[in-house]
Amino acid sequence: MPKHIEPIQSVKGTRDLLPPETELWQRVEEEARRVFQAYGFREIRTPILEATALFARSVGADTDIVTKEMYTFQDRDEESLTLRPEATASVVRAYIEHRLYHEGGLHKLYYLGPMFRRDRPQKGRYRQFYQMGAEVLGSDHPAIDVETIEMLVLLLERLALQEFTLLLNSVGCPRCRPEYLKVLRRALEEVRANLCADCQRRAVTNPLRVLDCKVEADQPIIERLPRMVDYLCMECRQHLEAVKSGLQDSGVAYQDVPRLVRGLDYYTRTTFEITSGALGAQNAILGGGRYDGLSEMLGGPPAPGFGFAIGEDRLALAVKEAWEKQPIEAPRARRPLAYIAWMGDAALGAAAKLARELRRQNLSIEISYQPNKLKRALGTASKIGARFTVIIGEGELASGRYQVKDMGTGQQDEVEADPGKVAAYLHEKTAKREGSNPATGERT
């Protein structure tokens, strides 16, 4: 009799993704790539293995991730390595290592891939889980925060998700947060004994993390703790108000959540989450924020950053439920098309609005939020390979007609300052190119 061999099972907290579920994941990822690329993001792929010091230094030595959840081991050279628990630190490490900052301007990078944390498995949470996210490096302008969140809302709308909520807060900066932490520590001393065991420890090692506690019994205590928003410095307060104003102008609804924090030490100023009513208690689909000092923390030059990570496992659950109620067709791919050049502060709002409306029509549009002269803006458009440049200055605002320059032929036409008219012009011009896709300007 042959000896019975027990089959080997997958490791606890991991799983196999099988068809037809993988087909749903592919469609979600394809739509994410389309939306990211429409906003000028390019893909980066970093190693799954990183030096342990990368996460201890960036995520925070006293965070739960570093102290309890990371998969860390010594390799044969006795170097401490870790399976990446998140990707932002890896992206910034790559930005520094390859000296991308020498290229100047913004770096807009997106990623997809597995992450690893030894957490308690539950619905939508695994020890090997998947994230897709994006990072913008090189500007601290609040318009970057607004545009990135706007992009996420568009993605969720494209995926037919309707039950989601944007939660918004600011965690201040190195100038104003220390004073808040002093106040918070004093408040926690009075209630520490009534908190859960983890929060009793956090109250000493990392008090800000107490605000992120999910234990139901702790919530009434946490609600009475001081709020970071009441201790923001003038610059952080102005930044937060600019983000809120920008979101309102973009038609993006949000909720102020004064005690919203992120679980990683590198966050500054804007923090946000998007939750879905389709997921029950564990309802956060994605989160992110600003991390203006992370590059310096990792030995790089000053490089303000803003980014987010989407929990793809949870997103797939929410999308599956939405598609079962309202089936949608897989969208078609799009390619880059135009650059919007604006001159003068008065033109920025019109330029941002035009970019937003054209992107909603699946046109890939790039726009800079740093003031530029026309010659330099046209140089940027040429460098990134834009087919057209839409020019908006004081004269164009006064006349109600934008200038649209064909970067290939040099021809420049006036087009009525209406997003629909501009879109129609771009479609018409690209359709005239023999064998081209009228939506993209790319040869088929």
The structure's pTM equals 0.84
Residue/partner pairs of 5-8 with CB below 8 Å, 24 or more apart: none
Domain ranges of the chain: 21-176+232-325, 183-228, 336-431
Please say if the pLDDT value at position 392 is more than 60: yes
User: Residue 41: its pLDDT value, please?
Assistant: 96
User: Residue 150: its pLDDT value, please?
Assistant: 95
pLDDT average, residue stretch 12-37? 91
pLDDT average, residue stretch 209-224? 85
pLDDT-derived band at 194, boundaries 50, 70, 90 = confident
| Average pLDDT score over the chain | 88
At the fourth CATH level, the homologous superfamily of domain 336-431 is Anticodon-binding domain (3.40.50.800)
pLDDT average, residue stretch 126-139? 94
User: Residue 276: its pLDDT value, please?
Assistant: 84
Please say if the pLDDT value at position 265 is more than 60: yes
Backbone angle region of 292, left / alpha / beta, with phi > 0 → left and psi within -120 to 50 → alpha: alpha
User: Residue 218: its pLDDT value, please?
Assistant: 86
Please say if the pLDDT value at position 207 is more than 90: no
Q: How far apart are CA 337 and CA 38, in angstroms?
A: 9
pLDDT-derived band at 324, boundaries 50, 70, 90 = confident
User: Residue 231: its pLDDT value, please?
Assistant: 92
User: Residue 235: its pLDDT value, please?
Assistant: 96
CATH 3.30.930.10 at 21-176+232-325, yes or no: yes
Q: How far apart are CA 39 and CA 136, in angstroms?
A: 11
> Tens digits of per-residue pLDDT, 408-429?
999 999 999 999 999 999 999 8
pLDDT average, residue stretch 60-78? 79
Q: How far apart are CA 118 and CA 380, in angstroms?
A: 45
User: Residue 334: its pLDDT value, please?
Assistant: 46
pLDDT average, residue stretch 122-145? 90
Least confident of 16-25, 256-265, 396-405: 256-265
